[in-house]
Amino acid sequence: MLACLWGAVLPLSADTEKDIPSQAQQASDNAAVQQLPLRMVSPGESFFVPHWYLKVQGGAAYDVGEADFNQLLSPAFQLTAGYQLNEYFGLRGGFSGMWARNRYAYPEAKYDWNFVQGAIDAKLNLTTLFLGKNPERNTSLYAFVGGGVAYSFNNDDAVDADKRYGVDFQKLWTDQRWNPVVRAGLGLDYYLSENIAIGAEVNANMLPDHFNSKRGRHDNRDWHFNALLGVKFALGSRHGRTIPVYEEVLETTPAPTPEPARVDTFIDVPVEKISFNVNIHFVINQSIIRDNQIPKLTRLLRYLNEHPKAFVRLSGFADKETGTPEINLRLSRERAQVVSKYLQDAGLDEWRIRRFAKGDKVQPFDIPEDNRVCICFVYDPENPVPQENW
């Protein structure tokens, strides 16, 4: 396994290896490292969250007929439940009604009836369509189309007018009637808070000619319009935000000039000359040495102190399943730095250490979590035979 890991590191050295500049002294223990000041690299990004909602609306309805506008108005309500699939599309279903009103011109007769309409609508967010995505936007202009069925009942006024005045309705129905409905409309929602919005909506409903009991011109359809105001309740969060990304702020100092002869000797070390390697693992998005990794470094230091001609190569890695290539390159650099400074603080000469950042372009392990690591490759000319990994 040692040869595989070293082989995965060496091919990229010409193009992607980056020498990491020396940094100011860090503390020699984990607690001191945690006290380093942090700088925000990214505040996190807002993202849309699919959610359910309920909407209650009330207003006025208008049925096209042979009378003045105000004589054909009646109360209206609408209760809907929906699911917003994404920032563009949503589905809803609900009920509306419950009164309708019309007039017969000659002989003059006025009549009301009741109905309850059930429908399913497909919604398109026009604000997102024209202005682009913004999960935190509070205003939403939408259009919808849908269909359903209307259950009409209590048509006693029309039946009585037909008997009393001899009105020839032609499309008169008694008791009850089911009618298909096709509908479309526009609406506007404004969120007062994360979960509560106020809004307005207008919609047009096309029904068969029997809906108002009269035969229309050219046997056309009947039209029922609604103008509604209401309140919308989002059931759960509408948007979220990714976790901010921070980096440790370290003061930089000029790097000491290494001894050329020793460095050249170290760089040219063939893979079969690597004595062993030590893997220091980190938590996601962090470059802090954990307490359970300290014993590995202690054993590594003991070996290096007992073998003064041995060198160590520190290669930092990051998990490509999380973060961006830029963030992961910076994170792998910091992991190599932290291990290097720990060794220097313990008394190891800097010329015996080389640091490299691999980012997420090389993944030495199959398990993503294992790639949040700094691998310490040790070369000991007095003991060049590969040993078992620590």
* pLDDT level of residue 245 (50, 70, 90 thresholds): low
123 residue type, one letter? K
| HSE-CB of 82 using CA atoms within 13 angstroms | 24
Distances (CA, A) of 268 to 21, 109, 314: 21, 104, 15
Q: How far apart are CA 54 and CA 56, in angstroms?
A: 7
265 pLDDT exceeds 50?
A: no
Sequence-separated (6 or more) residues with CB below 8 Å from residue 102: 63, 65, 66, 67, 72, 110, 111, 212, 213, 214
Q: What is the mean pLDDT of residues 260-274?
A: 45
pLDDT digits (tens, 9 = 90+) for 62-75: 998 878 888 899 99
260 pLDDT exceeds 80?
A: no
**Domain boundaries 2-43+258-379, corresponding CATH code:** 3.30.1330.60
Collapsed DSSP state (helix, strand, coil) of residue 275: strand
80 pLDDT exceeds 70?
A: yes
* Topology (CATH) of 46-240: Porin (2.40.160)
Q: What is the largest CA-CA distance in the chain?
A: 119
Q: Provide the pLDDT for residue 381.
A: 82
Phi, then psi, of 339 in degrees rounded to 5: -65, -40
Distances (CA, A) of 254 to 2, 121, 313: 33, 67, 20
**Token pair recorded at residue 134:** 């913004």
Collapsed DSSP state (helix, strand, coil) of residue 154: coil
pTM of the shown model: 0.54
| HSE-CB of 248 using CA atoms within 13 angstroms | 23
The b-or-e profile of 232-247 (16+ CB within 10 A means b, else e) is: bebeeebeeeeeebeb
More confident residue, 67 or 27: 67
* pLDDT level of residue 93 (50, 70, 90 thresholds): very high
Q: Picking from 131-145, 204-218, 234-248, 329-343, which range would have the lowest pLDDT averaged per residue?
A: 234-248
Could you state, in order of their start, the residue ranges of all structural domains in the chain? 2-43+258-379, 46-240
